[in-house]
Every structure is written in structure tokens, then in C-alpha cells.
Chain A
């Protein structure tokens, strides 16, 4: 047995109620690690053009060799074909579920088929059971988790569940875990809902064996602890978590405001990390095995948000449910965040979509006739609360918005697509690329659409002029690829990249040593770079197989045509020539042709010959 792995993959068929345990292929594990990498392989082998809402679709629940170990934080990933984009979808969540999956004895859990009635899956080590969820259907994710824990008689059972949004097929419905953690993006909750799968409960009693526990502990206790103590990033991360970003993006003029009409919030003091810390935060919390408690347990005690209790809001939520919809009170944003969590909606897509609807209403593209009499005005927090509920239940105007901005714009017509801010159907998060062109390349090439999780070029210190160009192309392709490759390794490991970067300022060299002590494998930095390239290219082939290529690696019209009206990037759009240059350079670095399709030579170099015929 190789350390860090359990050596088992659990396959569950919801249609028949049967399950089987398959041995992990360690040759493949060396090739793809775990997490995003191995899950991509498992999804790929499930075939092409599988309809996301069909029984034939699968959800792959994955951990990696570093998941469940102390020190670096743990995450799990859910992988499927997105109903929102048609692309490969990976959606991550922190909390404690990741370790529980591993301790139950599984590296990966593959769930296919469809239950004939509302159900939940109960995995108690090797005992697998499908139980009725008739009494849970319609309940919020919080109530579902509480009810299941009581039903199973163990408050330590870990539960992931969907809310009404997932049940009603909202294309950006999320999956909630440990109450406060969400696998948010791309509609994973809707895929669970289509399978009549309300929740998955897991209890594990096994541990994880590693190759050299003493060396691993020494690394954690000595070097990494010292690195953490010296890291200014780490201290800041603990105090403010992701909300510290409210300092940098307004300064750069790239924080979405009023549906990305501006990058300069009108009243950032109402939303920033200092205000949140002072007004809301009562406790710092950490995910399993993490030394960096960057989660903020918040309680709202004033105004229309009073009574709200949650972990959050995170930066992206503050931007999309705050400045992007014209709301400048952190307590109100927290309440909107909680409503999304309860209903099982992704806060990024929800805030982006509500901002889109408000702008359409402002411009007369949506009228009271379309909205059922509602006035959709920026800054009206009560309207934000109302729309969240309507979206989750596909009620009235909510039905239109539940499919996201791309589809809503297609139905509204009248050039409303000019205001739909998405890439490949996934709504853009909280960094406006007009003030940071490299972010535009990151969005255009992210494997799941408009996503910030693969590369965030605005976060990198020590960049010289030939490594980064704020309003040009020079250096950006190399930078974006480097950042993406680092995350390919981290997300296949599978640990938390903020914990590594902002606690330990980790490098591939650190990862190499972590793998050696955990798995026993000597994985050089070069091997890890090749692995990153392989995983990225496998996923690209998946997407090419579904019909995506260069024509789809595009930014929305707003970023190309509408200059920012104020701030440091005033007058800027993403220059089309720079974008084309960055794309071409990026494809060249990846070994993809001018259409963005991996070449046969590249596939051969990466050991992917067997899939070359799929994109001929």
C-alpha cells in the first residue's frame, strides 16, 4: 500500500441501490495523484456527451493523498459535467467532510444512476445504505443536516446536502457541507437534485497511513511552523480571511460594482474587512487539519440583517451580493449570504445574476410585466432577499434567473447579452479584468468557465515588468500557466491552496517533500510540473470532446466594449489584440494548437496517447 491513499474507490448506483468497491490503480495515482486529477480521469472514462441531468451522469467525490493529514488544511472536490456550462466541473469545499471520506476508507466515491424517490446516501465505513429523504425534500440545507444527524444519532456524522435550489434544478445550485461550507459553482447541487439525492452522510473510523510519519510531523512542526510564524500573509489571513481582498481590489478599481458597470465601489467602508471584523466577527474557525483559522463566524446584531449567524461572508460574496447589487452594509450582505446557503445557491452566480437583472430593469429590458410587479433597483436589499427566494423556487421572475445570465439574456433578447457577465455560461466572480488583463486570460482559459480558482494573477508578489503586464500581454501567459499548474498539484493533492500559499508560501519543492513523506514517492518538481500539465490537458481534451475550443475562450462583451468609468483603470477595456496575443502564447506554452486543441505530440509527451483519437 502506498501511503496517503486508502486504495479504494466506492461506486454507488442509485438506480439499483447496489454498490461495489474497486481497487485504486496506483499507476494512475502516480499519473494523476488524486482529487481533481484522478477525478478527471474517472469522469473522462464515463464517456462523452453525457447529459448532466440524466441517470448516466456521475458525480465523483474525491480526496487526495494529503487530505486528512494535519497541518495544511483539507478539502474535497466534487466533479461532474456541469449543467450550467456543459464543461468539466470541479467544485471544492472545506470543512471536515474531506477527512471523513478518507477515514471511511475511500479515496474516491463515484455516484451514478437516479433514485426513484427523494433519498439520501448513508456511508458508514463499509456499510452503504440508501435511505428515504421524503421528509427532507423542501427543507433548507441547514435543517436537512440537523435532521439527518439526529436521525443517525451521531452529531459527529458529516453531511453534505442540497437546498430547494438543487431540488428545483437551479443551474448554479450548490452543495452545502458542515452547514457553512459550499461546493458552490457550476450547478453540482442541481445534478444531485436530478438524481433525487438530497444528501450524503458519512462516518469514518479509519485512519490514513503515511510513508514516514515522523518526517512529516517534523516538517509540519518545525519548518512549516517557522515559515508560518515568519509569514505576514499568514497573520493577515487569520485576522481577515479572504475578506482582506476588499483592501486591494477597490484600490485597483476592479471590484465589481452595479453589475460590473464600475470597478470602484461607492462605499467600500460599509463592506470592507475592517468593518466586518468590528461589526460581525465573533470567532475565527478552521477547517480540518488547518493551522490557519481563516473562517469567520459572524453574528449580525443590527438592522434588517439582525439574527443572521453564519461563517462568512467571504470576499467573493461581499462583492457580488454587496457592491455588485448596490448594497453597502456588511450585515445585509451576511443575511443575503445566509439565504443563499439555506436555499443552496452559489453566492457568486446569484449576486452576478441579480445584478444583471437589476441593470436590465434599469435599462428597460425587463419591465414590471416581466417581474410580476417587482421593481428591481440597485441598492434595494429587500429585493435581493426576495429574488434569492424566487430563484431557489423558480417562482415568477426567479425561473428566468435560475438558469443564469447567459440563458436569461438569450430569452430577454434586446441586446441584453451585452450586460451578461460570464464565460462559457458561468458567471464571473469578483475581479474585473479591465484593470488586470492577466485575469482576463485566467477567466478565458479556466476549465470550468468564469472561474477565479485556477489562477489569480493579481495575488502574486515580486513580479517584475517582464513577468506581468497590467494593461498588456507581456509575461501574462507564462504567469497564468504557472499559477494554474501550482493549483493543479494542490487540488490533486488535495489540500487548501490559501493555507499553503498564505500560511507557508509553499512551492512545488514543499509539495514534493510532502508527497515523499506521505506517499513514499520521490516526485521531483519536474515530475509535478508534468503532472500538472497532464491533468490540465486531460481536462482540456474533455472540454474539446464536448465541442469547446478557442472560439469559446472569450470574455463577455462588457469587458471588451465598455470602458471602466472611473478609478485607476478608467477608460480601459480588455484590448482585443492583447487578449489574442495572450491566448496564442498560452496555447503554445501548453502545447495546444492555434484552436486551443492539444496536439498529438503533447498528448504523447504527457502519456495521454490513449485519448488522442477522441479529438481527431
Chain B
């Protein structure tokens, strides 16, 4: 999906925009960071680069950036 955000927006603001667009409750796993003791079970890539936990929500976005949100589950 394509989203338009104000200039200088971050991935954290992208998450908030998604929550608003899809009416996600505050308890949604995507927003868990706001609940004490909880953490979000998602990771982000920006144009394919895997972002680390301490940088992801604060990462600034530029026009045309591609963000992927996924659970870090692997197996087989």
C-alpha cells in the first residue's frame, strides 16, 4: 500500500498513521510500545535493510521509501 506522510515523518509516525487508518486499538501489537512492559512483536525493513530495535521507530522516511513490517519468525 502507498501512504502519504508529512515531510520529515518517521517510521513511528507511519505506524501511528496505519493505526489511525485501520482504527487499531491501543492494545494492538503494532502499538504495544506504548504499554509499559510490553514490546512490539514486529521488525521493520527500510528499502530492504533490517532495522535494529533501537533505531526503527525513529528512522526518518524520504519520498519513495519502502517499509516492510513483519514478525521475525522463521523455521522449517
Contact = CB atoms under 8 A, between A and B. Distances in A.
B76 A314 contact: yes
Contacts of A252: 45, 48, 50
Interface residues of A, number: 42
Given A242-B76, A315-B74, A468 B52 contact: yes
A430 B75 CA distance: 9
A459 B48 CA distance: 16
Residue of A430, A431, A462 ringed by the most chain B CB atoms within 10 A = A462
Contacts of A107: none
A458 B76 CA distance: 13
Given A232-B41, A568-B47, A430 B70 contact: no
A568 B66 CA distance: 11
A463 B53 contact: yes
B18 to A, nearest CB: 15
Interface stretch (A243-251, A593-601, A602-610): A243-251
Given A314-B76, A315-B76, A461-B39, A232 B71 contact: yes
Interface in A234-248: 236-237, 241-242, 244-245, 247-248
A456 B73 CA distance: 10
Interface residues of B, number: 23
Contact of A248 (B40, B41, B72): B72
A226 to B, nearest CB: 14
Contact of A461 (B43, B47, B48, B54): B43
A406 interface: no
B40 to A, nearest CB: 8
Contact of A460 (B48, B49, B72): B72
A449 interface: no
Interface in B22-52: 29, 39-43, 45, 47-50, 52
Question: B interface, by DSSP: helix, strand, loop or mixed?
Answer: loop
A431 B73 contact: no
Contacts of A236: 71, 73
Contacts of B41: 231-233, 461
A569 interface: yes
Contact of A567 (B40, B48, B55): B48
Nearest to A317: B76
Contact of B70 (A248, A431, A468): A248
A242 B75 contact: yes
Contact of A464 (B43, B53, B75): B53
A470 B43 CA distance: 13
B68 interface: yes
A458 B71 CA distance: 11
A315 B76 CA distance: 5
16 contacts: A233-B73, A236-B73, A248-B73, A248-B74, A251-B48, A252-B45, A314-B76, A315-B76, A429-B76, A452-B74, A458-B50, A458-B74, A461-B53, A463-B53, A467-B52, A502-B75
